[in-house]
Chain A
Amino acid sequence: MAYTKALPQATPETQEFWDGLKRHELRIQRCQDCNQFYFFPRPFCPHAGCRSTNVEWETVSGKGKLHTYVISHRGFGPWAEDVPYVIAVVELDEGPRMMTNLVNVEPEPEKLPPDMALEIVYDDVTDEVTLPKFQPAS
């Protein structure tokens, strides 16, 4: 069945992130001067006092912690059949935070303590797009 939810459309500076996911690799950028990782992709280090353009893509662990979330009890369009679903912010072990959905876990507050360990699940939603979802770490 065709996937009808919103899909990301890559831009030049984000292309490697989405290409990496398609290969089942989580790729984010790291500043080669201050050594910090960052997200979302852009061609310069966003950290205050650095702002270097000497940045490189790296494949990271795909492990992180549940930073915060909501359990959505409303869903529009194709999301309606998914409610309740978890919209979460994961803090990667490398530092940056990103939005995701939690999968393979009950959408109940008791099952979702902040800081619980998570790992990435590569969700191949179409032939072209893979979304980074997360589940409780095994």
Chain B
Amino acid sequence: MPRNSQDYSHKVAIVGASETETVGKLPDRSMIQLHAEAAMLALADAGLTIDDVDGVATAGPTPAQLTEYLNIMPRWIDGTSVGGGSFLMHVGHAVAAIEAGYADVVLVTHGESGRSGVGVGGRGPANSTLAGQFESPFGVWGPPSQFSIPIVRHMHEYGTTEEQMAEIAVATRKWAELNPRAMMRDPITVEDVLNSRLIAWPLHLLNCCLVTDGGGALVLVSEERAKDFPKDPVWVLGRGESAAHTLISQMRDMTEWSAAVQTGQDAFAMAQMTTKDIQHAMFYDAFTHVPMYALEALGFVKPGEGGPYFAEGHTAPGGDFPMNTNGGGLSYTHTGMYGMFAIMESVTQLRGEAGERQIDNLETSMVHAPAGMFSGTSTLILGNQ
């Protein structure tokens, strides 16, 4: 009998979730240590220990490196590692694995010594890779010089402005002001963003995310077990994932995040929801234009309407579509593969644990993150009912 993804909606829940004790500058902890710290805290949050885990998923280190460090031998592993959205994909994979009986208690971990570089391997593509042949020789030097390349085309096609993108940084900073863990909490203005130093025009410094250390982990179990934990379950209602390219020059359409269109449609179909059902959003903000592209691709606004939408304040505190309520990668923290922190804030909000920044009467949240630089994406729809 053919199955469809709807059969897997609301079948698996997040019952444990925690970030590392602190995030920011952590030169006293190695990358893999951050994974383990977050894992133990997330398991404690669920009233479990490492010995209860029989499935692990991680990105950055391989699953084998993680199991070695934790000294466990699980029945199911997933090492999908395609950038910041990997952890969203792990959650989607965990739903299927748990439903298939491959594992009962799945641990998803993230840890990155992005700022301090403790226990981290080398970087940069080999000269014979596609990136090494067709991008590195032209002086690209990382995400600010590559993820940014499509922006000028969006400005040209739709009239999107630097001021509108600055508004995204301003709105996100307002959320960070409400988050005592956020690295950047001083108010900023559009002028501050536009006057901050140029990184790769049209990106200024304050259009760019932070670079920090930290980690986070999740524990997932089946519907049958989900009621037995200290905290109310956060249900996985929908998921979608894709990957399309790695070279930014090969992005199919510089004005549309086509992979996000697909992953949004898949997530909505699984959850049997539409944009109107989503009350809160965590749209990965490596740079200010990234959530703008996501908002358009996921169907919340029409193509080209993203810039004006942010400028109108919908996503800021008090707005009707709260987004990136932890302060985002722009102002809260950004270790390198920030997707775990995006999930974490959705869980925190859906549990009602967000303190001063808590969204009232929240039942649904969407998490969206890229796989690499516009390369692919993953979308999750989470809920607490």
A contacts, CB < 8 Å to B: 5-11, 14, 18, 40, 67-76, 79, 82, 84-85, 87, 89, 97-101, 109, 114-115, 131
Contact = CB atoms under 8 A, between A and B. Distances in A.
A43 to B, nearest CB: 14
Given A72-B200, A73-B200, A99 B138 contact: yes
A109 B136 CA distance: 23
| Most chain A Cβ neighbours within 10 Å, of B133, B144, B150 | B133
Interface in B107-139: 126-128, 130, 132-139
Contacts of B149: 68-70, 87, 89
17 contacts: A7-B127, A8-B127, A8-B128, A8-B134, A8-B136, A11-B133, A40-B247, A68-B254, A70-B151, A71-B198, A72-B145, A76-B141, A87-B145, A89-B254, A99-B248, A101-B138, A109-B202
Contacts of A11: 128, 133
Contacts of B148: 70
A69 B148 CA distance: 8
A76 B156 CA distance: 29
B249 interface: yes
Contacts of A101: 138-139
A99 B173 CA distance: 34
A116 B265 CA distance: 36
Contacts of A85: 139
Pairs A-B, 6 closest by C-beta atoms? A8-B133, A9-B127, A68-B153, A99-B249, A71-B201, A9-B128
B292 to A, nearest CB: 15
A27 B315 CA distance: 48
B197 A69 contact: no
Query: Which among B137, B150, B156, B248 has the highest number of chain A CB atoms within 10 Å?
Result: B137
A39 to B, nearest CB: 8
B153 A87 contact: no
A88 B145 CA distance: 10
B139 A73 contact: no
Contacts of A89: 149, 248-249, 254
A79 B142 CA distance: 13
Nearest to B197: A73
B211 to A, nearest CB: 13
B151 A82 contact: no
A109 B201 CA distance: 8
Given A40-B247, A70-B152, A9 B133 contact: yes
A99 B137 CA distance: 9
Contacts of A99: 134-135, 138, 140, 247-249
A69 to B, nearest CB: 6
B203 interface: yes
B320 to A, nearest CB: 32
Contacts of A84: 198, 201
B295 to A, nearest CB: 20
A82 B139 contact: yes
A72 B133 CA distance: 20
Interface string B231-249: 0000000000000000111
B137 A72 contact: no
B156 A70 contact: no
Contacts of B156: 68, 114-115
Contact of B138 (A9, A73, A87): A87
B199 A73 contact: yes
A127 B16 CA distance: 59
B249 to A, nearest CB: 4
Contacts of A98: 134, 249
B137 A5 contact: yes
A67 B145 CA distance: 16
B153 A97 contact: no
Contacts of B361: none
Nearest to B144: A74
Most buried by A among B130, B136, B249: B249
B127 A6 contact: yes
B254 A8 contact: no
B140 A68 contact: no
A72 B134 contact: no
B152 A69 contact: yes
Contacts of A100: 138
Contacts of A14: 133
Nearest to B133: A8
Contacts of B145: 70, 72, 74, 87
Nearest to A115: B156
B250 interface: yes
Nearest to A114: B156
Contacts of A114: 152-153, 156
